[in-house]
Copies of this chain bind each other. A is one copy, B any other.
Amino acid sequence: MNALEGPDGKAPSLRELARDVGVSPTAVYRHFPDKQALDKALAREGLKLLGSEQSAAAKKAGGGAAGFAETGRTYVRFALAHPALFRLMFTQGRPIEDSDVPDEARALLIANTRALAGNPERAETLALQAWSIAHGIAMLMLDGRIPADDSLIERMLDTDNLFPDQGSSSEESP
């Protein structure tokens, strides 16, 4: 994991990863057919970690719209905390097959948007929009286009602000 940490956000080389583990570069090929497969495996770990962090955050925020907003903020914070890993998770040549991904994150997203939007088609659009905003913020911050400021994350991912018609803070106190 060493080569994947650090704030540099640079993609780790196969040889560097092998060095970290204390093994020759070609030994990797006993376990993975090629570098892309290695990356895929690492990406899967990352997705699992992100998913668990997100559901923990949602739970802590008490679920509902507030919890939904927290999953978004957690997404962005995760990207900033693990730049290289985050890039690896999404910048793969071809997407990870659905079956490969224990996608806690996606399930959470769908459940949340179903709850927020009445109409199921609207819910799907809402899900993709929510994902896109979080992903866009994450990417723009990683690439230095937008200040990687925690308060900015807060402000941009404010559900009351973003989806004012979907009724959010009102459901906590019925």
* Residues of A bordering B, CB below 8 Å: 90-92, 94-95, 125, 128-129, 131-137, 139-140, 143-146, 152, 155-156, 161-162, 164-165
A162-B95 Cα distance, complex, nearest whole Å: 27
Q: Cβ of A155: which chain B residues have Cβ within 8 Å of it?
A: 125
Q: List 20 A-B contacts (CB under 8 A).
A: A90-B140, A90-B145, A91-B143, A94-B144, A95-B143, A95-B144, A95-B145, A125-B161, A128-B152, A129-B133, A129-B162, A131-B140, A132-B136, A135-B136, A135-B140, A136-B137, A139-B139, A164-B164, A164-B165, A165-B165
Verify B144–A140 contact, CB threshold 8 A: no
Instruction: Give the CA-CA distance A164 to B129 in the complex, in Å.
Output: 14
Compute how far the CA of A110 lies from the CA of B105 in the bound complex, rounded to whole angstroms: 33
> In the complex, are the beta carbons of B125 and A92 less than 8 A apart?
no
The distance in angstroms between the C-alpha atoms of A90 and B145, with both chains bound, is 8
Q: Which residues of B are found within 8 Å of A135, using beta-carbon distances?
A: 136, 139-140
In the assembled complex, how far is the CB of residue A150 from the closest CB belonging to chain B, in whole angstroms? 14
Note all chain B residues with C-beta closer than 8 A to A161.
125
Measured between alpha carbons, how far is A131 from B135 in the docked complex, in Å?
A: 11
Task: Give the CA-CA distance A165 to B166 in the complex, in Å.
Answer: 12
Contacts of A139 in B (CB 8 A): 90, 135-136, 139
A156-B136 Cα distance, complex, nearest whole Å: 14
Taking CB as reference atom, which chain B residue is nearest A122? B161
Alpha-carbon separation in the docked complex, A164 to B161 (Å): 11
Q: With A and B bound together, what is the CA distance between A113 and B128 in angstroms?
A: 22
